[in-house]
Amino acid sequence: MTLGCSTNDMILGSKVKIVGLTVTRFLMKLFKSSNISLINDSRYYFNFELPSELLMKRKDKFIEKFMASQSLLDCFAIH
């Protein structure tokens, strides 16, 4: 177990990986190829991101907005 990760985070991470593998498998069947390099190139050119990539971007965006709202609230706080 990694330090700083809860059991729920590990379970969520494994579920995201399973969905990512399912997406990759779907693309392999769609393009009738098992060449992972071809699949990754296709994902890149069609701008198709894996669920794990999307979650990281959304998490980062959320944290950025949360921190901005916290600093805005701190500006209006009465001391």
pLDDT value at residue 28? 94
Predicted pLDDT of residue 35: 95
What's the alpha-carbon Rg for the chain, to the nearest Å? Answer: 19
pLDDT, one tens digit per residue, over 52-63 is: 889 889 989 999
Question: Buried b vs exposed e over 49-61: b needs ≥16 C-beta within 10 Å?
Answer: ebeeeebeeeeee
The whole-angstrom separation of Cα 49 and Cα 65 is 22
Which pLDDT tens digit goes with each residue over 6-56?
665 666 778 888 888 999 999 999 999 999 999 999 999 999 899 888 988
pLDDT at residue 6, rounded to an integer: 64
Higher-pLDDT residue of 48, 5: 48
Question: Rounded to two decimals, what is the model's pTM?
Answer: 0.61
